[in-house]
Structure 1
Amino acid sequence: MSLNNLAKHIEALIFSSVQSISIQEIIIALNGVFNEEFSEQLIEKEVKILQTKYDNADNVLELVSLNNGFQFLTKKDYHETVNQLQLHRSKKKLSQAAMETLAIIAYRQPITKLEIEQIRGVNSDYSVQRLLEKELISMEGKAETPGRPILYKTSGTFMDYFGLNNISQLPQLKDISKEENAIGTPID
């Protein structure tokens, strides 16, 4: 491998790193590839060249110094666009357990976690936490029962995501029951 492409190797290391990568980590990786000892000064010089390259207005990325290392980030002009993608992706990824928990909360709100678990028959800590993180549910207050457990309800984000103005617009359970789930023969 040629040292002429040293900046490209550094660029590849920074690009492929999930979090910021330090000068020392870059040196360790390059030493392993080139079987050569690189100085901090040389690597810092190459990183500055890369930063200048990415300062160009034609690039959507910038090379930023973070947490004693370097990382590629989207320039501020594009944050809203990237944020929309992240919102879209975060809304798509609900597990079956989270969907069940969300349905129980939507139809029985306000409801405590204990009541959710009694309906589902399993612990719902993780599902409730994920729904809170995704802001699909919120805390309503505390129940007037012993221990004063937290009450959960659907949030404005839930309403927006499902295109509802109010909870009364949720489909009625009788409208979504399937004959295949019925037991026995229908009574006329």
Structure 2
Amino acid sequence: MDSPADLGSLGVLEALLFASEAPLSLERIEEILDGCSRAEVSRLLVDLQDKCRQQDRGVVVSEVAGGYRLVTKPEAAPWIQRLRGSKPVRLSRAALETLALIAYKQPITKPEVEAIRGVMVDGVLKTLVERNLVRILGRKPEVGRPILYGTSRTFLEYFGFKDLSELPILKEIEALIPNAAEKAALCEEVEHTGQTE
């Protein structure tokens, strides 16, 4: 097999990231580019990231969900929306609140989410599972064996996180909320869920 250098290594890597439906891990890229070491793959990724950062490029290399993928630059969003003929699907406030609880408290059961939110979450939880943002992790070993929920790889991709350690901490969330009443309510809710940083 030809080496990636013979074929234009950056071009091959760019094509792989473009064609892949999911983020590609370093291991998978190394496997595909038979003969390239991990160090060479890492160097190629850095080179491609640098090239994509140029102002006239419409895509960037993003490290997300344990791998790498090509994503469009935020500045291109209006044209992409025009191409697709619709605005991106947004999550409701209820869905975001439920998803945040699951992300910070996982594994967590539906009754635990409902106890914190104070409302039923059947429909919201069903939607999050259907969109593959939340997945079933198993059952809690207690009476009734309730289902345990956690976030999925799609969740990481949707929000652009490499892993769960990139979830914002309480201080970062506070800085984003200008309204003092909303900030106090959110801080109280987050502290209630055990997020204390």
The structure whose Rg is larger is: 1
Structure 2 length normalisation: TM-score?
0.45
Q: Which has the higher contact order (CA 8 A, sep 6+)?
A: 2
**TM-score normalised by the chain length of structure 1:** 0.48
